[in-house]
Structure 1
Amino acid sequence: MKENTPIYQIRKCLFEKLQNISYFKGQLQEREKILKLIQSTVEYGESNSALIIGSRASGKTTLVNDIIREVTLLKTFEDNALLVRLHGFVHTNDNLALKAITRQMNLLNVVEGKVFGSFAENLAFLLDSLKSGNKETSKSIIFILEEFDSFCKHHNQTLLYNLFDISQSAQTAICVLGLTCRLDVVELLEKRVKSRFSHRQLFLFSDTYADEKGMFIVMMDNIKSLLILKRSDSDAIDNIPASYISKWNKQVQHLLENKSFKSILQRFMDIDISKNRLKIILIPIISSLRDDNDTITVESFQEQLNKFEQDGTIQAIHDLSVLELCLIIAMKHHTDIFNKQPMNFEMVLTRYTKFANANSSVQSVQRPVVMKAFEHLQNLELISFVSGGGSRIQKEYQLFKLEATSQQIAEAVKSCPGLPTEVVQWAKSSLI
């Protein structure tokens, strides 16, 4: 395909939107608070610290990246601030974190050959190196700590202690933003660290907390944001005739209004509602665009969804024992009734016991056997642990979510030979 054709330029623009541009909708109050924290550090030299707490895929990193992208476009940020990113899964100890800080602050040549007595002295020297004696030439530093709870496991929490201590002492203007999915993360801080933390916490809630209609609208908006082209999206759009852009946007709008497409989208949402998963679906669809195939069709989405669903889940459910399948069905009913909210073992056991007692042909089993079956489902990754609460919660009350959809369970039950009639009817029923 020639690089100067309109469809090639459209592909280029769409890939830029998919791969390079993170977008975040909603949470306007939280966005404004984080933006003000960063701006007060950069523009006024104020030191701040905050924790951004939310479940996986709730948009913590996307939100922060969106804000950072906005402030880095300002000349004041370029002249007066530095950005340092650390990740708890990568920088697993203070020495690794310190090396990353040194590199990102462009101070490798400054510390070369110097000997420091402690981590605190090394960090303090790095921060002092940014100062040259007056406020006008000193630089503020924005620290972003992904998987913040992992830094709490470092020896004596030295890194966190020094960062929070510096933010309180006002010797250098820094803003520390910690991102975590642990609701109890403050309790993980040592007393001396906790006393220096501002205790500012912002909570993000994922789209799973919205009702089904609201989630569908959000997903439609996400697709529209990714596929509809605007002049401000990319410089490459300048090479595309306005008439072609108009034609492209009209066919995308027509696709979004198609009933079959909405049905496919609903199937996809039963599996995953995250923006990242949506992008994974869109990439091969956009890659298939050619001069002789310059539209996105319902069939292309159907094909990608079929591939997406071929993950072995149906086969894994098909191979379960009757007891394990009953537990899966019990979880399915819980998910349907309580709008995909997580569950624990006791909830599942109660629902299964009610079914077993109502059907004399279903053999009742002892509690330890049911627990063993429940753990086997976890090992097969048909259910997954929901973060929160820590190890202090008994395993019977730890929250899990079901990773299989209602359609996958129905397909598996349909293909299972020799299942008791009551189990088949229970799987189809929505009453228990």
Structure 2
Amino acid sequence: MTGGFFFLQLVGTIFLESQPKTMAHRSGFSICFLPCADDVMCGVEWALQALSQLQFRPTEKVQFGPYLTWAFGLRWGTCWYCINRLRIPSRHFSLVSILLALSLLREMARENPTENALCLLRTRLCDPNFAFKALSHSDDSNYSKLKFLVSSSITEACNNSILLLGPRGSGKIAVLELVLSDLLQEFPDMISVIRLSGLLHSSDNCAFKEIARQLCVEHQLVFSRMASFDDNSQFMIAMLRECGLAHKTIIFVLDEFDLFALGKQRLLYSLLDAMQSVTSQAVVIGVSSRLDADMLLDKRVRSRFSHRKLLFLPPAYEDIQRLLEHILLLPTDSSFPPDYVIAFNAKLQTILADERFREIINTYLNLDSTVKHLLRYLFRAVSDMDLESGMLSLENFKTALSNIQRHPKLECIKDCSVLELYILVCMKRLEVKEQNSYNFNAVMKEYKSIHDSVKTADYFARNVCLRAFEHLLQRELIGFADNRGQNQSIEFSPVKLLISSHELHQGMKSYGSCPAILQQLMDRQK
């Protein structure tokens, strides 16, 4: 019995040594010498209880758990994991079976690299700072320019003011946070960061009070909530002077900078005017989505502004390619199995080099070229990764694109009847024939010509067609050509299609019971 127990200890030790360190740490146990272990079943129970801490996903029904719980006094969860997975009959439940169970459970307890890869990619996509690191290596990048301007202001003890301008989602805040985190590591005792938002602190009184509060927290001073506007203003100027004498730079980050330009602009004037002094040492960084934010400043404020601006434009396709590789490629020096990393990265490189993938990315960038929304799109694509194969595929990106793109017209076409599809195709044929002005009567003539030429069974009475025509008007798939049509009879009012040929063709493709003749007519017009 003692030999069997120590053999069980050996199996458990091999199990732990074969697992990654993170897994062993999370499981919270290590199999070592156990005092008072006279019976092998004590060791079995202890080891299986430790294994039960690892999260398996059992699919079979429990068959022998109750008997083993009664016979050996083991916990229900212990038997549930072991017996249910291996389906060991109770009559064969011996020490050999237990050791076999431990051995096989060791293999099943290995972390799934696919799920870990999916978790890693999602974590990267949710971290804008990680994403923008791929775009910050160039000397011409906004990251390099901004870091140079701020670092030179710190080292040379001079004042500066900068505006970061670009559309929302272009990475202004992400790049700024990267710069500030790097500078705080390089100059830990020479920087104080004060953050304001125009959405919260556009009022001058509120802004000065927030500046005073953050300065007091930064320098471990007592903040007075009852201080007046003038007291907070004088406190800010005094702190700028004291920090300048101590060779410490205060960086003011003004998010939604254009909102601070509303009203009398006393905050901007006081701040920029105090920076004209030789003793002060500060940097003002404004962030705005308005490209004309500097033109909103008053003359007295504009004269004190340094007029340095960094424009955040949509990245080029080469930068997008570098960003995709930076985010989606798995690291080679990690705990992932080397074979899995090589196969995953090779498959991804094949996808990135595919011309169809480039068309998908260009289609999405034509909709929205900001990096923020590109990361959302990639998150959708990664979330659709097949966990069995553990690889990304081109279909993942196609599905994500179709889910993001909203086509309300296509959804309306899916709900149309067959007669309504006939009317839409007839109207499209009239437009192809360069008949710019047509009404319900012209559509009915075209409908009759299709029926006479093809002899289809889908032929409806005129009053039924009129009801379908009115339904299309209500759904706004077609509309009146001018305002006079609303005052005339529907049969004689000129109408026009409100959907494009491509939308009509795609909608009919996705229509389950679309007649083949309509598909053929649309294909001829392409």
TM-score (norm 2): 0.53
Of residues 175, 186, 190 in structure 2, which corresponds to 1:80?
190
Of residues 90, 94, 99 in structure 1, which corresponds to 2:204?
94
Pair 1:177–1:272, CA change in 2 (3 A): same
Structure 2 distance, partners of 1:281, 1:133, is: 45
1:46 has 2:147 as partner: no
Alpha-carbon distance, 1:286 to partner: 2.9
For 1:392-403, list aligned pairs within 5 A. none
- Specify the alignment match of 1:304 in structure 2: 400
Q: Secondary structure at the match of 2:161?
A: strand
Maintained 8 Å contact 2:184/2:191: no
Of residues 149, 155, 158 in structure 1, which corresponds to 2:258?
149
Structure 2 distance, partners of 1:204, 1:317, is: 40
- Aligned residue pair count: 323
Q: Secondary structure at the match of 1:149?
A: helix
- Specify the alignment match of 1:376 in structure 2: none
Pair 1:131–1:290, CA change in 2 (3 A): farther
Of residues 223, 229, 232 in structure 1, which corresponds to 2:324?
223
Alpha-carbon distance, 1:126 to partner: 4.0
Residues 351-384 of structure 1 deviation map (CA, whole Å, 9 limit, x = unaligned): xxxx9xx976389xxxxxxxxxxxxxxxx9xxxx
Query: Sequence identity of aligned pairs in percent?
Result: 26
Residues 291-348 of structure 1 deviation map (CA, whole Å, 9 limit, x = unaligned): 5241111122222111111353656999xxxxxxxxxxxxxxxxxxxxxxxxxxxxxx
- Specify the alignment match of 1:14 in structure 2: 121
- Specify the alignment match of 2:174 in structure 1: 62
Pair 1:43–1:12, CA change in 2 (3 A): farther
Structure 2 distance, partners of 1:122, 1:129, is: 10
Pair 1:292–1:124, CA change in 2 (3 A): farther
Maintained 8 Å contact 2:381/2:399: no
- Specify the alignment match of 1:139 in structure 2: 248
Maintained 8 Å contact 1:107/1:126: no
Structure 2 distance, partners of 1:170, 1:317, is: 69
Answer with 1 or 2: which has the greater Rg: 2
Q: Secondary structure at the match of 1:156?
A: coil
Q: Secondary structure at the match of 1:17?
A: helix
- Specify the alignment match of 1:361 in structure 2: 437
Pair 1:3–1:183, CA change in 2 (3 A): farther
- Specify the alignment match of 1:282 in structure 2: 378
Structure 2 distance, partners of 1:282, 1:40, is: 37
Q: Secondary structure at the match of 2:253?
A: strand
Residues 67-92 of structure 1 deviation map (CA, whole Å, 9 limit, x = unaligned): 22332332x1x211022222223333
Structure 1 distance, partners of 2:119, 2:389, is: 16
| Structure 1 spans left out of the alignment, 5+ residues | 208-214, 232-236, 319-354, 364-379, 381-407, 417-424
Q: What amino acid is the match of 1:226?
A: I
Q: Which has the higher contact order (CA 8 A, sep 6+)?
A: 1
Maintained 8 Å contact 2:244/2:279: no
Alpha-carbon distance, 1:251 to partner: 1.8
Structure 1 distance, partners of 2:401, 2:160, is: 45
Alpha-carbon distance, 1:48 to partner: 0.5
Structure 1 distance, partners of 2:504, 2:388, is: 42
Maintained 8 Å contact 1:131/1:138: no
1:246 has 2:342 as partner: yes
Maintained 8 Å contact 1:86/1:97: yes
| Structure 2 spans left out of the alignment, 5+ residues | 1-54, 56-108, 415-430, 440-475, 477-498, 509-521
1:173 has 2:271 as partner: no
Structure 2 distance, partners of 1:131, 1:3, is: 60
1:113 has 2:224 as partner: yes
Q: Secondary structure at the match of 2:150?
A: helix
1:203 has 2:315 as partner: no
Structure 2 distance, partners of 1:265, 1:134, is: 49
1:5 has 2:112 as partner: yes
Structure 1 distance, partners of 2:279, 2:289, is: 31
Maintained 8 Å contact 2:243/2:249: no
Alpha-carbon distance, 1:50 to partner: 1.7
Q: What amino acid is the match of 1:304?
A: A
Q: Secondary structure at the match of 2:359?
A: helix
Q: Secondary structure at the match of 1:197?
A: coil
For 1:405-424, list aligned pairs within 5 A. 409-412=500-503, 414=505
Pair 1:265–1:93, CA change in 2 (3 A): same
Q: Secondary structure at the match of 2:388?
A: coil
Maintained 8 Å contact 1:7/1:291: yes
Structure 2 distance, partners of 1:303, 1:160, is: 48
Structure 2 distance, partners of 1:241, 1:362, is: 67
Structure 2 distance, partners of 1:167, 1:44, is: 14
Structure 1 distance, partners of 2:409, 2:266, is: 44
Q: What amino acid is the match of 1:94?
A: D
Maintained 8 Å contact 2:385/2:393: no
Q: What amino acid is the match of 2:300?
A: R
Maintained 8 Å contact 2:143/2:175: yes
Alpha-carbon distance, 1:99 to partner: 4.3
Q: What amino acid is the match of 2:323?
A: N
